[in-house]
Structure 1
C-alpha cells in the first residue's frame, strides 16, 4: 500500500496499468488527448505487482487497472474516469491540481 500511495503522490496524474490492457491504453490516450502527460506505472513489470493490485483494490478501485490518481487521490478505474470526462468534471479537476499543460 505504501508503494502505491508514494508513487500516486509523486506526479499530478498517475495511472497504474498492465502492459497488455487495452482499457489502460484508452485511459492513457484520453489524458494525452486533453493535454495531460500522465505518469504511467506498469505494475505487471514490477516484482511487487500482485501486492500493488491488492492495495489498489483495497483503496476502493473497482478494477485494479487502470487505476487513476489525480493529485494523489484515487479517482478510480475506466468507468469513473470516463464518467467524469463525459459529465465535464474531469478537466476542472485537472485544472484544480494544475495538471493540464
Structure 2
C-alpha cells in the first residue's frame, strides 16, 4: 500500500487571531497608560471637548496643582488608551472617544496610582482626603 505524504496545516481561526492581536495591543496600551501615569504627580487623561474633563482640569488648577494632561482625542492611539482606561475602571468597552460611552474620561492618577474618574475625585475632595493625597504625591506643598 502506497502512503502519500500529506501535509497538514493548522489554520488558526481568524477570530482567535484577531483576539490574540487585540489582547496584545491592549496590554501595550495598559503599559503605556501606567508609564504616562507615573511620570508626574498628577496625571489626567482627558478629551479636549469634554466639559467634565475641563471641570476636572479647572479643579486641580484652582487648587494650585499643575497636572499633566493627556488629551486622548489628540493622540493617534487615543481610542486604544481609552479602552485600556475603561478596563482599569471596570467599565464596558464603548465605541470610541466621541461616543456616549466616554464616561471613562476624565481619569485621574495621583502619585502614579489610579484615583478614578470624576465621581471618585469629587468624593475625595468633599471628604477632605484629596489635599493630603496631593501633598503626599508632591503636587501641593502648603
TM-score under structure 1 length normalisation: 0.95
* Larger strand percent: 1
Counterpart-to-counterpart distance in 1, 2:75 and 2:136? 31
CA contact (8 A) 1:18 1:43 kept: yes
Map of 2:114 onto structure 1: 74
2:104 is paired with a residue whose SS is coil
Residue 42 of structure 1 is matched in structure 2 by 71
Distance 1:77 1:61 in 2: 11
Q: Is the contact made by 1:14 and 1:40 (CA closer than 8 Å) also made in structure 2?
A: yes
Contact map agreement 2:45 2:106 (CA 8 A) in 1 = yes
Task: Identify the structure with bigger relative contact order (alpha carbons < 8 Å, sequence gap 6+).
Answer: 1
> Could you tell which deviates more after superposition, 79-88 or 62-71?
62-71
Partner of 1:99: helix, strand, or coil? Answer: coil
Q: Which has the larger radius of gyration?
A: 2
Deviation (angstroms), 1:61? 5.9
In structure 1, stretches of 5+ residues that fail to align are none
Which of 47, 60, 66 is the matching residue for 1:31? 60
Matched residues in 1 for 2:76 and 2:90: separation? 21
1:88 Cα deviation (Å)?
0.4
Checking the alignment, whether the CA contact within 8 Å between 1:84 and 1:90 is kept in structure 2 is yes
Give the Cα separation in 2 of the matches to 1:26 and 1:18: 12
Residue of structure 2 equivalent to 1:100: 140
1:18-76 CA deviation, whole Å, 9 max, x = no partner? 01000000011100111100001101111111110111011126532100000111100
State the alpha-carbon separation in 1 of the partners of residues 78 and 104 from structure 2.
10
Runs (5+) with no aligned partner, structure 2: 1-29, 92-102
